[in-house]
Amino acid sequence: MSKIALITGTTSGIGEAAAYTFAKEGFDLVLNGRRADRLTEQAKEIETKYGVKTYTMQVDVRDAEQVQSFVNQIPAEWQAIDVLVNNAGLAAGLGNLEDGDLDHWNRMIDTNIKGLLHVTKSLIPLLKKTKGHIVNIGSIAGKEVYAGGNVYCGTKHMVDALNKAMRRELAEAGIRVSSVNPGAVETEFSLVRLDGDEAKAANVYNGFENLVAQDIADAIWYIVSRPKHVNINELTIMPTAQPAAGLVIRDKGL
Protein backbone atom coordinates (compact mmCIF):
# COMPACT_ATOMS: atom_id res chain seq x y z
CA MET A 1 0.00 0.00 0.00
CA SER A 2 1.30 3.46 -0.89
CA LYS A 3 2.14 5.96 1.77
CA ILE A 4 0.15 9.18 2.02
CA ALA A 5 1.41 12.75 2.46
CA LEU A 6 -0.78 15.77 3.18
CA ILE A 7 1.00 18.96 2.17
CA THR A 8 -0.60 22.35 2.81
CA GLY A 9 -0.20 25.07 0.20
CA THR A 10 0.61 22.93 -2.86
CA THR A 11 -0.76 25.38 -5.43
CA SER A 12 2.61 27.11 -5.80
CA GLY A 13 6.20 27.38 -4.64
CA ILE A 14 7.70 25.08 -2.03
CA GLY A 15 4.50 23.10 -1.44
CA GLU A 16 4.09 22.47 -5.15
CA ALA A 17 7.70 21.26 -5.52
CA ALA A 18 7.27 19.04 -2.45
CA ALA A 19 4.07 17.52 -3.88
CA TYR A 20 5.83 16.56 -7.12
CA THR A 21 8.83 15.22 -5.22
CA PHE A 22 6.68 13.01 -2.99
CA ALA A 23 4.64 11.83 -6.00
CA LYS A 24 7.85 10.88 -7.79
CA GLU A 25 8.73 8.78 -4.74
CA GLY A 26 5.38 6.97 -4.99
CA PHE A 27 3.37 8.76 -2.29
CA ASP A 28 -0.35 9.34 -2.70
CA LEU A 29 -1.10 12.98 -1.95
CA VAL A 30 -3.63 15.18 -0.26
CA LEU A 31 -3.22 18.50 -2.08
CA ASN A 32 -4.24 21.75 -0.40
CA GLY A 33 -4.72 25.40 -1.22
CA ARG A 34 -7.53 27.88 -1.75
CA ARG A 35 -7.24 28.12 -5.55
CA ALA A 36 -9.53 25.38 -6.88
CA ASP A 37 -8.45 25.68 -10.54
CA ARG A 38 -4.80 25.11 -9.68
CA LEU A 39 -5.64 22.17 -7.42
CA THR A 40 -7.70 20.45 -10.12
CA GLU A 41 -4.99 20.90 -12.74
CA GLN A 42 -2.26 19.81 -10.37
CA ALA A 43 -4.13 16.69 -9.29
CA LYS A 44 -4.64 15.66 -12.92
CA GLU A 45 -1.01 16.27 -13.84
CA ILE A 46 0.42 14.42 -10.83
CA GLU A 47 -1.83 11.40 -11.36
CA THR A 48 -0.96 11.20 -15.06
CA LYS A 49 2.76 11.77 -14.63
CA TYR A 50 3.44 9.61 -11.58
CA GLY A 51 0.52 7.14 -11.44
CA VAL A 52 -0.22 7.96 -7.79
CA LYS A 53 -3.59 8.94 -6.30
CA THR A 54 -4.51 12.45 -5.20
CA TYR A 55 -7.25 13.84 -2.98
CA THR A 56 -8.04 17.52 -3.02
CA MET A 57 -8.37 19.61 0.13
CA GLN A 58 -9.62 22.97 -1.08
CA VAL A 59 -9.65 24.49 2.37
CA ASP A 60 -8.51 27.81 3.82
CA VAL A 61 -6.31 26.71 6.74
CA ARG A 62 -7.32 29.85 8.65
CA ASP A 63 -10.81 28.41 9.06
CA ALA A 64 -10.64 25.94 11.97
CA GLU A 65 -14.15 24.57 11.31
CA GLN A 66 -13.46 23.98 7.62
CA VAL A 67 -10.21 22.17 8.47
CA GLN A 68 -11.81 19.96 11.13
CA SER A 69 -14.81 19.19 8.95
CA PHE A 70 -12.51 18.17 6.06
CA VAL A 71 -10.60 15.83 8.38
CA ASN A 72 -13.84 14.39 9.84
CA GLN A 73 -15.05 13.56 6.35
CA ILE A 74 -11.84 12.17 4.92
CA PRO A 75 -12.59 8.78 3.31
CA ALA A 76 -11.27 5.70 5.11
CA GLU A 77 -8.71 4.96 2.41
CA TRP A 78 -7.15 8.42 2.91
CA GLN A 79 -6.98 8.35 6.70
CA ALA A 80 -3.60 6.62 7.05
CA ILE A 81 -1.61 9.84 6.63
CA ASP A 82 2.11 9.19 7.08
CA VAL A 83 3.47 12.68 6.48
CA LEU A 84 2.08 16.15 7.17
CA VAL A 85 4.00 19.07 5.68
CA ASN A 86 2.81 22.33 7.26
CA ASN A 87 3.84 24.63 4.44
CA ALA A 88 0.93 27.03 3.70
CA GLY A 89 2.00 30.49 4.73
CA LEU A 90 2.77 34.00 3.62
CA ALA A 91 4.31 37.34 4.38
CA ALA A 92 2.27 40.50 3.84
CA GLY A 93 4.02 43.85 3.77
CA LEU A 94 7.54 44.94 4.61
CA GLY A 95 7.34 48.08 6.72
CA ASN A 96 7.80 49.40 10.22
CA LEU A 97 5.34 48.51 12.96
CA GLU A 98 4.38 52.17 13.24
CA ASP A 99 2.99 52.04 9.70
CA GLY A 100 1.70 48.48 10.08
CA ASP A 101 -1.41 47.35 8.26
CA LEU A 102 -3.78 45.42 10.55
CA ASP A 103 -5.08 43.31 7.66
CA HIS A 104 -1.51 42.26 6.82
CA TRP A 105 -0.83 41.36 10.46
CA ASN A 106 -4.03 39.34 10.78
CA ARG A 107 -3.40 37.45 7.53
CA MET A 108 0.08 36.42 8.65
CA ILE A 109 -0.91 35.50 12.20
CA ASP A 110 -4.07 33.67 11.09
CA THR A 111 -2.30 31.69 8.36
CA ASN A 112 1.24 31.05 9.61
CA ILE A 113 0.35 30.39 13.27
CA LYS A 114 -3.34 29.59 13.60
CA GLY A 115 -3.63 27.79 10.25
CA LEU A 116 -0.69 25.55 11.12
CA LEU A 117 -2.27 24.85 14.52
CA HIS A 118 -5.69 24.04 13.02
CA VAL A 119 -4.26 21.52 10.58
CA THR A 120 -1.90 19.95 13.13
CA LYS A 121 -4.54 19.56 15.86
CA SER A 122 -7.01 17.97 13.45
CA LEU A 123 -4.46 15.53 12.06
CA ILE A 124 -2.67 14.38 15.24
CA PRO A 125 -5.18 11.56 15.90
CA LEU A 126 -4.55 10.17 12.39
CA LEU A 127 -0.77 10.63 12.63
CA LYS A 128 -0.73 8.74 15.95
CA LYS A 129 -2.15 5.70 14.17
CA THR A 130 0.58 5.69 11.51
CA LYS A 131 3.40 6.94 13.78
CA GLY A 132 3.76 9.63 11.17
CA HIS A 133 6.05 12.57 10.53
CA ILE A 134 5.30 16.31 10.71
CA VAL A 135 7.54 18.71 8.78
CA ASN A 136 6.97 22.37 9.62
CA ILE A 137 8.16 24.98 7.16
CA GLY A 138 9.60 27.78 9.27
CA SER A 139 12.06 30.35 7.97
CA ILE A 140 15.34 32.07 8.69
CA ALA A 141 12.83 34.72 9.82
CA GLY A 142 12.02 32.37 12.69
CA LYS A 143 15.63 32.31 13.80
CA GLU A 144 16.62 35.93 13.27
CA VAL A 145 14.83 39.21 12.51
CA TYR A 146 15.38 41.85 9.84
CA ALA A 147 14.18 45.38 9.15
CA GLY A 148 10.54 45.38 8.08
CA GLY A 149 10.16 41.71 9.02
CA ASN A 150 8.59 42.33 12.46
CA VAL A 151 5.25 40.44 12.42
CA TYR A 152 6.29 37.90 9.77
CA CYS A 153 9.42 37.13 11.83
CA GLY A 154 7.21 36.84 14.91
CA THR A 155 4.95 34.27 13.23
CA LYS A 156 7.93 32.21 12.12
CA HIS A 157 9.49 32.36 15.61
CA MET A 158 6.18 30.89 16.78
CA VAL A 159 6.50 28.11 14.19
CA ASP A 160 9.99 27.43 15.60
CA ALA A 161 8.55 27.22 19.13
CA LEU A 162 5.66 25.01 18.01
CA ASN A 163 8.06 22.71 16.18
CA LYS A 164 9.88 22.12 19.49
CA ALA A 165 6.65 21.81 21.46
CA MET A 166 5.22 19.26 19.03
CA ARG A 167 8.40 17.18 19.21
CA ARG A 168 8.18 17.00 23.01
CA GLU A 169 4.48 16.19 23.00
CA LEU A 170 4.45 13.65 20.19
CA ALA A 171 7.66 11.69 20.73
CA GLU A 172 5.95 9.13 22.93
CA ALA A 173 3.46 8.43 20.14
CA GLY A 174 6.37 7.74 17.78
CA ILE A 175 5.62 10.81 15.66
CA ARG A 176 8.71 12.53 14.27
CA VAL A 177 8.67 16.34 14.12
CA SER A 178 11.10 18.36 11.99
CA SER A 179 11.39 21.81 10.51
CA VAL A 180 12.99 23.36 7.47
CA ASN A 181 13.97 27.02 7.79
CA PRO A 182 14.79 28.54 4.41
CA GLY A 183 16.29 31.86 3.44
CA ALA A 184 15.25 33.54 0.19
CA VAL A 185 13.49 31.13 -2.18
CA GLU A 186 12.07 32.53 -5.42
CA THR A 187 8.39 31.54 -5.45
CA GLU A 188 5.19 33.60 -5.39
CA PHE A 189 6.20 34.62 -1.85
CA SER A 190 7.44 38.13 -2.71
CA LEU A 191 4.59 38.74 -5.15
CA VAL A 192 2.14 38.02 -2.32
CA ARG A 193 4.19 40.02 0.20
CA LEU A 194 4.37 43.06 -2.09
CA ASP A 195 0.68 43.03 -3.02
CA GLY A 196 1.17 41.70 -6.55
CA ASP A 197 3.83 44.21 -7.66
CA GLU A 198 5.78 42.07 -10.15
CA ALA A 199 8.68 44.48 -10.64
CA LYS A 200 9.28 44.90 -6.92
CA ALA A 201 8.96 41.15 -6.36
CA ALA A 202 11.50 40.34 -9.10
CA ASN A 203 13.88 42.90 -7.58
CA VAL A 204 14.08 40.90 -4.35
CA TYR A 205 15.98 38.19 -6.25
CA ASN A 206 18.20 40.45 -8.39
CA GLY A 207 21.98 40.17 -8.36
CA PHE A 208 22.42 36.84 -6.55
CA GLU A 209 21.47 33.20 -6.89
CA ASN A 210 18.42 32.63 -4.71
CA LEU A 211 17.20 29.23 -3.59
CA VAL A 212 14.53 27.54 -5.69
CA ALA A 213 11.53 25.60 -4.40
CA GLN A 214 13.13 22.29 -5.40
CA ASP A 215 16.06 22.94 -3.02
CA ILE A 216 13.59 22.94 -0.14
CA ALA A 217 11.54 20.03 -1.50
CA ASP A 218 14.77 17.98 -1.64
CA ALA A 219 15.46 18.84 2.01
CA ILE A 220 11.93 17.84 3.06
CA TRP A 221 12.33 14.55 1.23
CA TYR A 222 15.74 13.98 2.87
CA ILE A 223 14.18 14.48 6.31
CA VAL A 224 11.24 12.19 5.64
CA SER A 225 13.29 9.44 4.01
CA ARG A 226 15.65 8.91 6.99
CA PRO A 227 15.25 5.61 8.84
CA LYS A 228 12.52 5.57 11.51
CA HIS A 229 15.01 5.95 14.40
CA VAL A 230 16.45 9.19 12.93
CA ASN A 231 14.73 12.52 13.48
CA ILE A 232 16.22 15.62 11.85
CA ASN A 233 15.11 18.31 14.31
CA GLU A 234 15.64 21.19 11.93
CA LEU A 235 17.49 22.29 8.81
CA THR A 236 18.30 25.93 8.12
CA ILE A 237 19.05 26.44 4.44
CA MET A 238 20.27 29.69 2.92
CA PRO A 239 21.42 30.93 -0.46
CA THR A 240 25.23 31.20 -0.37
CA ALA A 241 24.80 34.93 -1.00
CA GLN A 242 22.53 35.36 2.07
CA PRO A 243 24.70 34.90 5.16
CA ALA A 244 22.00 36.18 7.53
CA ALA A 245 18.35 37.24 7.51
CA GLY A 246 17.88 40.45 5.56
CA LEU A 247 21.50 40.47 4.35
CA VAL A 248 22.11 39.61 0.70
CA ILE A 249 25.41 40.03 -1.12
CA ARG A 250 24.44 41.24 -4.58
CA ASP A 251 26.37 41.69 -7.82
CA LYS A 252 29.42 39.69 -6.70
CA GLY A 253 28.69 36.64 -8.84
CA LEU A 254 27.25 34.68 -5.90
The footprint of ligand NDP (CB under 6 A) covers 8-15, 32-35, 60-62, 87-90, 111, 115, 137, 139, 182, 184-185, 187-189, 192
151 binds, among ligand NDP, ligand 8X3, none (CB under 5 to 8 A by kind): none
Q: Does 179 bind ligand 8X3 (CB under 6 A)?
A: no
| Closer residue to ligand NDP in complex, CB, 38/128 | 38
Cα–Cα distance measured from residue 17 to residue 40, given in angstroms and rounded to the nearest whole number:
16
Q: Which residues of 124-144 are buried (b: 16+ CB within 10 A; e: fewer)?
A: bebbeebebbbbbbbbbbbbb
Q: Does 245 bind ligand 8X3 (CB under 6 A)?
A: yes
14 CB-side CA count, 13 A: 29
Exactly one of 20, 55, 152, 222 is catalytic; name it.
152
The least distance separating ligand NDP from the CB of residue 224, rounded to whole angstroms, comes to 16
**209 vs 212, 240, 242, 253, 254, CA distance in Å?**
9, 8, 9, 8, 6
Q: Does 116 bind ligand 8X3 (CB under 6 A)?
A: no
Please tell me the count of residues contacting ligand 8X3 according to CB under 6 A.
6
Interacting span for ligand 8X3 (CB under 6 A) from 2-10, 72-80, 115-123, 133-141: 133-141
Q: Does 194 bind ligand 8X3 (CB under 6 A)?
A: no
Cα–Cα distance measured from residue 235 to residue 125, given in angstroms and rounded to the nearest whole number:
26
Annotation marks residue 152 as catalytic: yes
Task: Give the 3-state secondary structure of 177-228.
Answer: EEEEEECCEECCHHHHHCCCCHHHHHHCCCCCCCEEHHHHHHHHHHHHCCCC
Rounded to the nearest 10 degrees, what angle do helices 36-50 and 13-24 cross at? Answer: 20
Identify the DSSP state of 117: H
Q: Does 139 bind ligand 8X3 (CB under 6 A)?
A: yes
Tell me which residue has its CB nearest to ligand 8X3.
139
| Closer residue to ligand NDP in complex, CB, 124/192 | 192
The least distance separating ligand 8X3 from the CB of residue 33, rounded to whole angstroms, comes to 18
Chain contacts with ligand 8X3 (rule: CB under 6 A) = 139-141, 183-184, 245
Question: What residues are labeled active site?
Answer: 152
